[in-house]
């Protein structure tokens, strides 16, 4: 579903060397609390990595 697709998208963004900025807004709509927490956790990991 959408939640697992978002996790996959976040992982892909993290691997991309050309993406420098991602904007999240009201379109960032995940209904599952676990899915949202997983996506947010991965975003935090991406922003804290040394090689990003």
Q: How many domains does the chain have?
A: 1
Q: What is the pLDDT of residues 17-40, one digit of tens each?
A: 777 776 666 566 667 777 777 777
Q: Give the residue numbers spanning the domain of 39.
A: 2-17+25-48
- What does each C-alpha distance from 35 to 18, 25, 42, 44 come to in angstroms? 26, 16, 11, 14
Contact between 39 and 30 under an 8 Å Cβ cutoff? The reply is yes
What pLDDT sits at residue 33?
74
Widest distance between CA atoms in the chain:
31
CB atoms within 10 A of CB 28: 13
Orientation angle between helical segments 2-15 and 33-48, nearest 10 degrees? 0
What pLDDT sits at residue 49?
66
Q: What is the pTM of this model?
A: 0.44
């Amino acid at each position: 579903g959408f939640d697992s697709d978002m996790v996959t998208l976040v992982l892909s963004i993290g691997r991309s060397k050309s993406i420098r900025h991602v904007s999240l807004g009201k379109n960032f709509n995940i209904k599952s609390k676990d899915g949202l927490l997983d996506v947010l956790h991965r975003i935090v990991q991406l922003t804290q990595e040394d090689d990003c």
